Amino acid sequence: MPKHKVKLAFITNYYARKASLKKRKDSLKKKLNELCTLCDIEACAIMYSPNESHPDLWPSKEGVEDVVDKFNKIPEMEQSKKMYNHDTYIKSRITKTEEQIKKQIKDNWETEMCNKMSECFSGERSISNLPITDLNDLVTFADQRVSEIESLIESLKSAAPAAVPPPDPQPPVVCGSNADNPGMAGGMAADGYVPVVENPVTFDSEEATDEWFSDWIDNMVDTFGSFSRG
């Protein structure tokens, strides 16, 4: 059965308030003990109650005195560095809430500008009918987006690896031997002989590939021409 959410308000009923105090004091001591064990730290608690003449000390009077003594030996600036009281806590929460509100206002404004710009591009709204304040906001919004895109392009350019030039094309080698073609003697081609191209080269550049193919065709023409003349 899920626990119901506790309302953070003063408990008006005396007996309910007393029972809640005892229960929560025990829970606090248990959590402090877990914190000291898990994180290997020193901690203490001093709890005053209107129903008790002496404060409830944890883990003991000696333990509290030892922790307080070590704390007092720390320089005053270090003591108050991360210390919160009610006023400072409320101020920090107010500051954090104000920052969240400013961020939400900015997000809402950007969403509104995106919607208006989309409506103008789609023809649902005429830009000539917009008030001057909306036009100024649209110009500011567009300038911000252009600046962001330019910054992104510059970062991509600086992060892109340097272009590697394509390798120099290597001419194909036409070769043959008597063993490969019994009809060939002394480098002369017989009927039906097909030259063999060794070490074909693959290029990433389309221009380099076209140039290599043209050279290869010229080489083939010269080769077959010499065979014919022979």
The larger pLDDT score, comparing residue 205 to residue 63, is at 63
Task: Give the residue range(s) of CATH 3.40.1810.10 domains in the chain.
Answer: 14-78
Phi, psi angle pair for 173, to nearest 5° = -110, 120
- With H, G, I as helix, E, B as strand and everything else as coil, classify residue 196: strand
Q: How confident is the model at residue 223 (pLDDT cuts 50, 70, 90)?
A: low
Whether the CB-CB separation of 50 and 11 falls below 8 Å is answered with: no
Whether the CB-CB separation of 208 and 166 falls below 8 Å is answered with: yes
Burial class of residue 160 in the structure, from the number of CB atoms within 10 Å of its CB (0-12 exposed, 13-18 middle, 19+ buried): exposed
pLDDT of the residue at 16: 92
Q: Which region holds residue 5: left if phi is over 0, alpha if psi is between -120 and 50, else beta?
A: beta
Q: pLDDT, tens digit, for every residue of 188-204?
A: 444 454 555 444 545 45
Q: How confident is the model at residue 217 (pLDDT cuts 50, 70, 90)?
A: low
pLDDT of the residue at 171: 59
Work out the mean pLDDT of the chain and round it to a whole number.
78
Q: Is the pLDDT of residue 4 over 80?
A: no
The larger pLDDT score, comparing residue 194 to residue 171, is at 171
What CATH architecture does domain 14-78 belong to? 3-Layer(aba) Sandwich (3.40)
The larger pLDDT score, comparing residue 112 to residue 215, is at 112
pLDDT of the residue at 207: 54
pLDDT of the residue at 77: 84
Report the predicted TM-score, pTM, of the whole model to 2 decimal places: 0.41
**Whole-angstrom distance, CA of residue 26 vs CA of residue 59:** 12
For residue 159, the tally of other CB atoms under 10 A from its CB is: 7
Whether the CB-CB separation of 130 and 169 falls below 8 Å is answered with: no
For residue 135, the tally of other CB atoms under 10 A from its CB is: 13
Q: How confident is the model at residue 65 (pLDDT cuts 50, 70, 90)?
A: very high
Q: pLDDT, tens digit, for every residue of 111-129?
A: 999 998 888 888 888 888 8
Q: How confident is the model at residue 104 (pLDDT cuts 50, 70, 90)?
A: very high
Q: pLDDT, tens digit, for every residue of 14-57?
A: 999 999 999 999 999 999 999 999 999 999 999 998 888 889 99
Of 226, 197, 223, the closest CA to residue 212 belongs to 197
Q: Which residue's structure tokens are 């591009």?
A: 121
